[in-house]
Amino acid sequence: MKKMLIASLALVLAAPAVFAAELTTRLVQVGEPEAGKTEVPVMAEGDGRVLWVDARDTALLAALTSAQVEDRTVRVDFNEADGRLNGVVLLDVGVEEDETGDFGYEKENFNPTVLDFNSALTIFDAMDGRTKRDSQCFNRAHGWAYDMKTRYNVDSMKIFIFFTSRYIREYRYKWWFHVAPMVLTAQDNMSVEQVMDVSFTNGPTLMRNWTNYFMQNDWACPSVNTYSEYRLNQKSQYCYLIRANMFYRSPRDLEQLETQGRQELGWNMNELAEARRQAFKNWRRYNP
C-alpha cells in the first residue's frame, strides 16, 4: 500500500509539560467517564496501547472523541510508566489505494496448511526472535507469517485477541489487542490450532494456553466473526478472538473488511517492509 501523508499541525490541546513518550496513531475508542472512576481509557490503534485520561479533563476528552469520530491521525504525549495521556496534536493524513503482491487468495478460498506438530516446532524454532524493544505485535506477526510462506510454503492464519473495556478497567490493562500467527497441526484425524507467538511462548501453543498468558482471570475468550462484535460488546465479556488469514495485518484491516468489503488478498511489499523495519533488529539485511 502506498501511503501519501499530507500532515499539517492543526491544534495543540494541552498545557506544556515534560513528556516521557510520544506516539503517532489513530484512536480506536475513547471511553466515557464512569461513576467512581477517576480515569477514562483511550485505545490507540498504532501499537494496541491503552492510555488513560483524567476524567475531569473534559477539554482533552472532547478533543480525543472528535479525533476518533473523524478518524483523524493524532500525535499523543503520555507517561510511559503509567500510560497517563497528557496532550494531543491533531494531524491530517491522506492514504492512497492498496497495491497487492504475490500469493493472492480470495478469502473464501483460503485454505490453511495443515502440518504435523514436529514440523510446526521446527518452523517455530527458526522464526526470528531478534525483535526491537518497541516492536509492535502486528508487525512481528506479519513478518513471521511472510517468512513461513516464503521459506516453508505454509499458508498460516492470524489470531487476534481483543481485550474489552471491562477487562481493561478492572485490571488496568496496558493493551487492547494482541495478534500472532497461527498454524494448524494434524492430531487424531483433526486439525488443531497452534499459536506461533515467539515473543511470549516457547513453542507452538494451544489456543487456551496462549490466551491464559494474557488473561489475568483465566477467562475463556469467545470467538466472533466480525470486528463490530467486539466493538459493540464491551461489557458482557473480558475478551474476544477473531481469526483471519495471514494477509490481515491489523485491526483496521478487519474493520475495513466488514465496513468496506475490503479483502486482503496478497502480500503488500511496501507494508511488509514497513513492518520489518519497525519490528526486527536486522531489517536492513533481513535474514531470519
pTM: 0.81
Among 8-12, 140-144, 192-196, 269-273, the minimum mean pLDDT is found in 8-12
pLDDT in tens, 99-140: 333 333 344 578 999 999 999 999 999 999 999 988 999 999
Describe the strand order of the beta sheet including 73-78 as a list of residue ranges: 9-12, 85-91, 73-78, 21-30, 39-44, 50-54
Q: In the structure, how many helices (H) and strands (E) does the chain have?
A: 8, 12
User: Between the ranges 5-9, 19-23, 34-38, 163-167, where is the mean pLDDT highest?
Assistant: 163-167
Domains of the chain: 9-91 (2.40.50.340), 107-285 (3.10.620)
pLDDT of residue 288: 54
- The total of other beta-carbon atoms located within 10 Å of residue 222's CB is 14
Average pLDDT over residues 231-249: 96
pLDDT of residue 251: 95
- Residue 75: phi, psi to the nearest 5? -115, 120
The Cα–Cα gap between 239 and 229 comes to: 11
Facing residues of 179 across strands? 160
Average pLDDT over residues 246-271: 93
Closest of 17, 77, 12, 11 to residue 44, by C-alpha? 77
Among 78-92, 107-121, 156-170, 232-246, the minimum mean pLDDT is found in 78-92
The β-bridge relationship of strands 239-245 and 157-163 is: antiparallel
pLDDT in tens, 33-80: 888 888 989 988 877 889 898 888 888 888 888 888 888 888 888 888
pLDDT of residue 191: 92
Cell numbers linked to 97: 489505494
Instruction: Give the largest Cα separation in the chain, rounded.
Output: 62
Closest of 161, 149, 267 to residue 207, by C-alpha? 161
pLDDT of residue 77: 81
Could you report how far apart the first and last alpha carbons of the chain are, in Å? Answer: 24
The Cα–Cα gap between 200 and 269 comes to: 26
The string over 189-220, giving b where at least 16 C-beta atoms fall within 10 Å of a residue's C-beta and e elsewhere, is: eeebbbbbbbeebeebbebeebbbebbeeebe
pLDDT of residue 274: 92
Among 6-20, 132-146, 182-196, 220-234, the minimum mean pLDDT is found in 6-20
Q: Does the pLDDT of residue 230 top 50, yes or no?
A: yes
